[in-house]
């Protein structure tokens, strides 16, 4: 198995002096192709910072990030943007679809921006929509779709083409539980086809769709499922005991 | 859970044998609550004694003996279905008790303890979610799994809230547990 996304000892500090905020501290995270990992933590735990750094939208203060096998810090600004367009897809809580484009145009857009011809991009877009069960809605505009359908379009847009990593920020936050479940089912299926997925959330029900749940507290990975902390860890003096 | 009323519900569909009742009960509840056959027959005997079911006119006990619901049984079943469950008094939840007790035990890292329980509950929830992923077409299983996921979710949310409260505490050792007057349980009871 190859790690499509790898964060090694990543730290991020915002501001300096008395206003300094340490958003991430020595975070290690490795996500394989085909794996969906949930990063779970309360507001302010560093989840969103982790996602923007994993998506190469922000640089870490220290540590290394590798996406699709490439060390991000060694890439030029342009190469980094290209890597992002080509390999990374995003799913946001509020869908972020362009209102003036149809569903299929929204899905095909990242491919066109990446230099794929319009016809080939549209064909790939339609195929991605079909996998989300939305081929009938391909020519509709976002305001003609339900919330659940809009998020499915957003997932199609995130996985279209040769994306290797999908990053989702509370993707079901704006949906009811049945639609939220449908979205997670599709996101999981997309990962099982070989994409590495990370979903950040404070919601355990959402996190439970993941293969592995990583717990983030105060910018640190404190625990993850698939490991069993011993009883002795209870008696160790914690930060607030 | 009322086995008595679950059996009445199954018999309301038509006469059934004891063994069949056990199999149907387990199938409908996603096999989450296993039922032993002795428990089924004991319950059926009591239902018969109370006039809520009738059995075949055979002296023979065992798998060949059929049961059917009576008019009184139907009335009892419908009354039970409409009766709200008693949720007014907080249940004696072991997790809540452990966390409350831990607050007073010297040297225990409370956020660490909360994480141990959170970890376990999230893992359990992952298992149920996987079950849900595999069994879309079985309504009974889906409903039982949903109920279990929502129950676990409530516990995890409670742990998160407890975590946030513990982290906001002014200083170590300042926690006072169990000295609230007149006590939430009594206050809740008084509101009923």
Question: What whole-number percentage of chain A has pLDDT above 70?
Answer: 93
Q: What is the mean pLDDT of residues A45-56?
A: 94
DSSP string, B63-101: TT-EEEE-HHHHHHHHHHHHSPP--SSPP--HHHHHHHH
- Domain topology for A3-24+33-98+163-226: Rossmann fold (3.40.50)
Question: What whole-number percentage of chain B has pLDDT above 70?
Answer: 81
Together in a domain, B114 and B160: yes
* C-alpha torsion sign, points A54, A60, A66, A70: positive
Q: List, edge to edge, every strand of the sheet that includes A70-71.
A: A21-32, A3-14, A62-67, A70-71
Read off the pLDDT of residues A90-113 as tens digits, 9 standing for 90 and up: 998 888 999 999 999 999 999 998
In a domain, B181, yes or no: yes
- Who wins on pLDDT, A22 or B192? A22
Together in a domain, B76 and B105: no
Q: Does the beta carbon of B56 lie under 8 angstroms from any beta carbon of chain A?
A: no
Q: Do A225 and B172 touch (CB under 8 A)?
A: no
Contacts of A213 in chain B (CB under 8 A): 122-123, 126
Instruction: Please tell me the total count of domains within chain B.
Output: 2
Q: Does the beta carbon of B111 lie under 8 angstroms from any beta carbon of chain A?
A: yes
In a domain, B136, yes or no: yes
In a domain, B177, yes or no: yes
Q: Do A235 and B109 touch (CB under 8 A)?
A: yes
In a domain, B192, yes or no: no
Q: Do A202 and B160 touch (CB under 8 A)?
A: yes
Q: Does the beta carbon of B91 lie under 8 angstroms from any beta carbon of chain A?
A: no
Contacts of A185 in chain B (CB under 8 A): 133
In a domain, B89, yes or no: no
What's the confidence (pLDDT) of residue B36? 86
pLDDT at residue B181 tops 80: no
The span from the CA of B7 to the CA of B67, in Å, is: 10
In a domain, B87, yes or no: no
User: Which of the listed residues B35, B57, B82 is the one where a domain comes to its end?
Assistant: B82
**Cα–Cα nearest to A228, from B153, B99, B119, B109:** B119
Together in a domain, B99 and B75: no
Q: Do B107 and A239 touch (CB under 8 A)?
A: no
The span from the CA of A152 to the CA of A173, in Å, is: 13
Q: Which of A111-120, A178-187, B181-190 has the lowest mean pLDDT?
A: B181-190
In a domain, B142, yes or no: yes
Domain holding B73, by residue range, is 3-82
Together in a domain, B127 and B177: yes
What's the confidence (pLDDT) of residue B139? 81
Together in a domain, B170 and B145: yes
Together in a domain, B64 and B131: no
Contacts of B157 in chain A (CB under 8 A): 204
Together in a domain, B57 and B119: no
Angle at alpha carbon of residue A137, lines to A132 and A138, rounded to 5°: 85
Contacts of A233 in chain B (CB under 8 A): 109, 112, 116
User: Which of the listed residues B82, B113, B134 is the one where a domain comes to its end?
Assistant: B82
Instruction: Output the domain CATH number for residue B75.
Output: 1.10.10.10
Together in a domain, B102 and B168: yes
Nearest CA in chain B to A42: B160
Q: Which residues pair with A6 in a beta bridge?
A: A30, A66
Label residue A180 by pLDDT band (50, 70, 90): confident
What's the confidence (pLDDT) of residue A54? 96
User: Which of the listed residues B48, B82, B116 is the one where a domain comes to its end?
Assistant: B82
Together in a domain, B107 and B77: no
In a domain, B27, yes or no: yes
What's the confidence (pLDDT) of residue A230? 43
């Amino acid at each position: 198995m190859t790690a499509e996304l790898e964060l090694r000892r990543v730290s991020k500090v915002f501001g300096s002096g008395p206003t300094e905020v340490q958003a991430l501290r020595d975070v290690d995270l490795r996500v394989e192709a085909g794996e969906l990992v949930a990063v779970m933590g309360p507001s302010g735990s560093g989840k969103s910072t982790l996602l923007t750094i994993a998506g190469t939208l922000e640089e870490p203060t220290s540590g290394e990030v590798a996406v699709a096998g490439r060390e991000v810090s060694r890439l030029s600004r342009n190469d980094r943007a290209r890597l992002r367009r080509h390999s990374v897809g995003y799913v946001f809580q509020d869908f972020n679809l362009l209102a003036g484009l149809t569903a299929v145009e929204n899905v095909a857009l990242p491919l066109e921006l990446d230099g794929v011809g319009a016809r080939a991009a549209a064909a790939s877009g339609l195929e991605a929509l079909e996998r989300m069960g939305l081929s009938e809605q391909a020519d509709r505009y976002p305001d003609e779709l339900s919330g659940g359908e809009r998020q499915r379009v957003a997932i199609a847009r995130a996985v279209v083409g040769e994306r290797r990593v999908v990053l989702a920020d509370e993707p079901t936050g704006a949906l009811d539980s049945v639609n939220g479940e449908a979205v997670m089912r599709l996101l999981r299926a997309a990962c099982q086809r070989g994409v590495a997925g990370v979903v950040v959330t404070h919601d355990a029900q959402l996190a439970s769709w993941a293969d592995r749940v990583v717990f983030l507290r105060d910018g640190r990975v404190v625990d993850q499922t698939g490991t069993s902390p011993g009883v002795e860890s209870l008696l160790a003096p914690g930060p607030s005991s | 859970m009322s086995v008595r009323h679950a059996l009445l519900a199954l018999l309301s569909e038509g006469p059934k044998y004891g063994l069949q009742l056990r199999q149907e009960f387990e199938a409908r509840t996603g096999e989450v609550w296993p039922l032993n056959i002795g428990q089924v027959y004991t319950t059926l005997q009591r239902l018969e004694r109370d006039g809520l079911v009738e059995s075949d006119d055979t002296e023979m006990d065992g798998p060949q003996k059929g049961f059917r619901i009576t008019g009184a049984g139907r009335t009892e079943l419908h009354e039970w279905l409409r009766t709200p469950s008693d949720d007014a008094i907080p249940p004696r939840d072991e997790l809540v008790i452990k966390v409350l007790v831990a607050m007073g035990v010297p040297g225990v890292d409370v956020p660490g303890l909360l994480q141990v329980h959170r970890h376990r509950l999230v893992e359990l929830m992952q298992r149920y979610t996987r079950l849900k992923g595999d069994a879309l077409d079985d309504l009974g299983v889906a409903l039982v799994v949903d109920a279990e996921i929502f129950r676990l979710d409530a516990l995890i949310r409670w742990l998160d809230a407890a975590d946030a409260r513990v982290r906001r505490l002014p200083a170590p050792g300042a926690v006072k547990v169990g000295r609230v007057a007149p006590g939430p349980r009594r206050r809740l009871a008084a509101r009923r």
